[in-house]
Amino acid sequence: MRASFWPGRSGIVNRQTPVPMCRCSVCKKCCRVLPVEIAPFKSYTRPVMETACATYAAVERPMESLRQTVARLGTGHPHPSALHGWLGGLGARALGRLDRHAVGPPVAALISESAIRLQGELRTEWTQPRPVSPRKHRSRRRRDQLEACTRLFEAAGRLFPQAAYPWSAWEGWLESRFHVTTWGFPARFPCTAIQHQPPRQAGVACAPSNRGPKRRTKGKTHGARDPP
């Protein structure tokens, strides 16, 4: 049994999930087999991560903050820094920057297989730019990650429009073809730090500094000192 966090009616629920152990008939190696909803090395399930990341990256929510997004999940929600790390890692994965880090098949292979079997227009739509709110990034690298997340969840919604969690459904479909985790990403990706918005123009005025010439005191004789 493994503890994992699932979406519930009033918040996030900590639930015990059976994780069977299997043995390979060729090499005789034993390994645990995770359900498709649980990503490797993650405590929160894919539906929780999908709900949070898709909500924050949605084009129609340009003013949404990390704290507001996780608060929508209810009690037991993840920390805003966790959502920040998910967006960075998943965005880098969708951009193909983690193809050499053994987190799954190359992104190009995932898109090609999905385009051949499910929707032929996916290749063209995958390369189209997506708008990103300027309030959610202050660097080009972070903007690319958020744009890739938006592209990923929009593509999943077109491929599996009837699913409650399209990205999780896409993961399950890809695993049935590649037999490994496909949209894997590191839990704490070394991405850009949380980039706060610059301060407002209105501020508290301080006293003006004295820009006049300073009096010279070095080398000045003050006379003899009095005895103690």
Which token pair is 191? 């991405």
Q: What would the mean pLDDT of 108-127 be, rounded to a whole number?
A: 94
How does pLDDT run across 65-98, given as a tens digit for each residue? 999 999 999 999 999 999 999 999 999 999 999 9
Which token pair is 173? 């479909």
Which token pair is 151? 């592209």
Sequence spans of domains, the chain: 40-178
- pTM of the predicted structure, to 2 decimals: 0.81
Kindly indicate the confidence band of residue 103, based on its pLDDT and cuts at 50, 70 and 90: confident
How does pLDDT run across 120-146, given as a tens digit for each residue? 899 999 999 999 999 999 889 999 999
Residue 166 C-alpha from the chain's centroid: 17
Distance CA 63, CA 15 (A): 33
**Per-residue pLDDT, 192:** 65
Distance CA 122, CA 124 (A): 6
Q: What would the mean pLDDT of 206-222 be, rounded to a whole number?
A: 64
Percent of the chain with pLDDT over 70: 82
Instruction: Characterise 35 by phi-psi region: left (phi > 0), alpha (psi -120 to 50), beta (else).
Output: beta
Which token pair is 21? 């152990």
Cα maximum dimension of the chain: 100
**Per-residue pLDDT, 148:** 96
* Mean pLDDT taken over the chain: 87
